Amino acid sequence: MTVDLDPDCDLVLTRELQAPPAVLYRCWTTPEHLMQWFVPKPHKVVACTLDVRPGGACNTTFDVDGNIMENKGVYLEVVPDEKLVFTDTYTAGWKPAAEPFMTAIVTFEDLGGGRTRYTAVARHRNAEAAKTHAEMGFQDGWGTVAAQLEAYAQGLM
């Protein structure tokens, strides 16, 4: 599954994970699973509401060094076991967010043998926002999370 990328506004992470797409998708779409791996440890997800359908809530709350951070958004596209697109540009009920940050496009490409090409795209409204996210450590943070996802998914197989 290809995504039309904008090199100025999109940050991309691709990994081959040793877990099938269906298991990775379940980890992304089930609150009790997502809470186990979604932020780099020792940080944690302390609350999660997922209504996995276009227009459904995609809300997570993080504890980062004692600071509580809420991230509220909606799903834009859902293709079971293949693709999730969600954004913080809107919240449930299509209410515009005060300060949107990005839209995420996550794909799961079946490579056979229980392997998946996992791609996460963080799409930003402009080059400045993408640069800020890159400087925040997009590659390291999302790379760590991908490794945590893989390890957690393997425990479900």
Structure confidence by residue, pLDDT tens digits, 88-123: 999 988 999 988 999 999 999 999 999 999 999 999
pLDDT given for residue 110 in this prediction: 98
C-alpha torsion sign, points 1, 79, 71, 146: negative
Cα separation of 8 and 30, whole Å?
32
User: Domain for residue 88, yes or no?
Assistant: yes
- Please determine, for residue 1, whether its predicted confidence score (pLDDT) is greater than 70: no
User: Domain for residue 41, yes or no?
Assistant: yes
Percent of the chain surpassing pLDDT 90: 92
* Average pLDDT in the chain: 95
pLDDT given for residue 149 in this prediction: 98
Q: In CATH, what number is assigned to the domain containing residue 121?
A: 3.30.530.20
User: Domain for residue 2, yes or no?
Assistant: no
User: Domain for residue 74, yes or no?
Assistant: yes
Strands 103-112 and 83-87: antiparallel
User: Domain for residue 59, yes or no?
Assistant: yes
pLDDT given for residue 71 in this prediction: 94
Q: How many CB atoms lie under 10 A from the CB of residue 122?
A: 21
Residue 59: band (very low, low, confident or very high) from pLDDT cuts 50, 70, 90: very high
C-alpha torsion sign, points 52, 58, 75, 155: negative
pLDDT given for residue 92 in this prediction: 84
Residue 3: band (very low, low, confident or very high) from pLDDT cuts 50, 70, 90: confident
User: Domain for residue 57, yes or no?
Assistant: yes
pLDDT given for residue 128 in this prediction: 95
Span 132-151, average pLDDT: 96
pLDDT given for residue 2 in this prediction: 64
| Axis crossing angle, helix 138-154 with helix 127-135, rounded to the nearest 10 | 70
pLDDT given for residue 113 in this prediction: 97
pTM as predicted: 0.94
| Axis crossing angle, helix 21-29 with helix 138-154, rounded to the nearest 10 | 110
Identify the domain containing residue 75 by its residue range: 10-154
Q: What is the total count of domains within the chain? A: 1
> Residue 5, by phi and psi: left (phi above 0), alpha (psi -120 to 50) or beta?
beta
